A and B are shown apart, each in its own frame.
Chain A
């Protein structure tokens, strides 16, 4: 009984297939989307979501959950549209302080053995409050270079697709291939034995949190690059979106089982699902419900593919 596909590949294949099916239906409904501009329009808002999803995935790798992802990205967006634009040095310092705060949170959660959900729930108020202080009313302006990067038009491949591919590859190398990633996932899989092998779980957690903050900061910056300005509530839904993205991409809540490429694909799927719906033209009463329905359909698809895959594996 030799396996043809490793479980990691399967973990990836399923989200990739659901994305493809969704993409085909979108192209069918709206052939105009099948162009350079069309693809960019379909996917450019997936870039910040993909980054936030990677950040959430990192936290989930060590069996934690970050309920403050959305408010944190909003907070970063506010800084980007104000300080980073007007006084870049102060802006960078503030973002560095935010990374340090995340690292401290990781330490705190580990040392006091706290549930990450509660700590990040508390932090979501803190980030939200800071964002309101920085930008009491929507506004600010995206730094020129950020805007330039986000609206640039590389040859052949739209920026949105290129960016997602880069995010996927970089995070894959970092989490699935590097030694650092192995330790991180090991902490998620069996923290006790990683500790007994002489690694510091404390440092690993702090590093995970800091790295997650780094990706979340990239998410906030790229978001402002697309929207040109910020407000304190701009990314609140990223908390749930990022969790959904990780799950769609085959990640699990416990056990350090994650897939960065899957997570990016999950983020793309979620974005595309929204577009798919507007192309369907549903009665306004049911538009919200249809979002739920499409989520269910995508997940059902995942199950179906999973089943087929398993059937293929059994002798």
Chain B
């Protein structure tokens, strides 16, 4: 795009306030985005980032405050006005229609794509944009979305937002776009964002991965409890000062890695190598085992297989052997009609009940203990689970699994959308639990997290291609192993 820089901000929200019941989600936020800049938006879970996004996107109307586009105040700002002004959005939760093909989803996202031959045009537009952002993506536009992996869906969503049909794309909002992407794809995306910005577009970039924010943004806005607390050029921040601005502290990695030999011990969980290919999998008490490799190469499948294999579909054993932390919240995690408390305790009802009757006092106590321990940001555990921000929902799922007495916990990229402060706390909890003898199997798309593990299995094409132990668990080794083929 070669549009000359506009004299005005692409969009400007001034002193916006919105509250949901007693929760002040936004408490006077002012934000100005000019053409050709990438604004990084950071803050703890529930700080109000997604709410700002929804305001700019037109899905929510602020209770107070104004919104202006290209310097002119728009009194009745809504979804249509936002789109007309070139605002596009990639939401935190996946928002494609899973039953439609990629082409049809493009049609839905672009109302102007009509008339004869729209399928062909849509295929061309989305195909070329995917090629442009994610070379070698392997997505056929005629594929049905439900047949795609989560990462591929995220890629489609990003490409749809950036593709231009009739109206020019001026501002793209990316709400945690890299949470389901592995490092390679994330790098491709960030590269594209820079070129888009250089060409005069604007981007609002939300992420909990501070290195991404620091490397990609021109300006960083830090939010806390519904307010903007700091706003400075990105170059003035480093990781520490950014964390400090958000009100958290980064702790050092203080745990000694376990690298005991397997000899003579019985594994808690194990799986033989698949079809005789690759390495077998096993995990011992007290270990944190990481699953690494490029996204969608069989890590989630193995976790689900392990889980389904160790739980019964017909009877509930009193002592659960394994617990599971879902990464795909809406699909595998949340019970949307329930309040937070019930969502938290569902996996541990065996421990909270006698003769099948749930002890509600014990349940409430357990809930409060975990609310404190993992800092779930809500006034009342009686609130509906969907009133929580994405990251806080994820914390509830975490608490759900950790509250059970299960000796092994399977985690399917569980830190998606969890803010850095909480992550640190969760890491500490994991370590403490592991020291008490619990085992964790942890699939993560975050290299930092993989490097926290005692032992790492690297996946490629559905099989385990490498096992790294102790000090061998480094970013370089994991990356190198990810690209090795199956050892014959």
Contact = CB atoms under 8 A, between A and B. Distances in A.
Check A-B contact in the complex, CB < 8 A: yes
A256 B59 contact: no
Contact of B96 (A193, A198, A199): A193
A240 B361 CA distance: 46
A194 interface: yes
A185 B97 contact: yes
B104 interface: yes
Contacts of A143: none
A192 B95 contact: yes
A183 B144 contact: no
Interface in B69-115: 79-80, 83, 89, 91, 95-100, 104-105, 107-111, 114
Interface residues of B, number: 27
Interface of A: 3, 6-8, 179, 182-183, 185-186, 188-190, 192-199, 255-257
Contact of B108 (A8, A186, A257): A186
A292 to B, nearest CB: 26
B142 interface: yes
A196 B107 contact: no
Given A186-B100, A197-B110, A198-B83, 14 more contacts: A7-B147, A186-B97, A189-B100, A190-B96, A193-B95, A193-B97, A194-B108, A196-B79, A198-B80, A198-B111, A255-B98, A255-B99, A256-B100, A257-B99
A258 to B, nearest CB: 9
Given A7-B144, A198-B80, A186 B111 contact: no
A195 B91 CA distance: 13
Contact of A189 (B80, B99, B118): B99
A193 B249 CA distance: 36
Contacts of B97: 185-186, 188-190, 193-194, 256
B45 interface: no
B99 A182 contact: no
Contacts of B89: 196
Contact of A197 (B109, B114, B118, B143): B109
B95 A182 contact: no
B163 interface: no
A6 B142 contact: yes
A178 to B, nearest CB: 10
B57 interface: yes
A185 B100 contact: yes
Contacts of B107: 179, 182
B98 A189 contact: yes
A1 to B, nearest CB: 9
A90 to B, nearest CB: 38
14 contacts: A179-B107, A182-B108, A185-B97, A186-B104, A188-B97, A189-B97, A190-B95, A190-B96, A190-B97, A195-B79, A197-B110, A199-B108, A199-B111, A256-B97
Contact of B99 (A179, A195, A197, A256): A256
A28 B144 CA distance: 39
A157 B144 CA distance: 35
A258 B486 CA distance: 40
Contacts of A185: 97, 99-100, 104
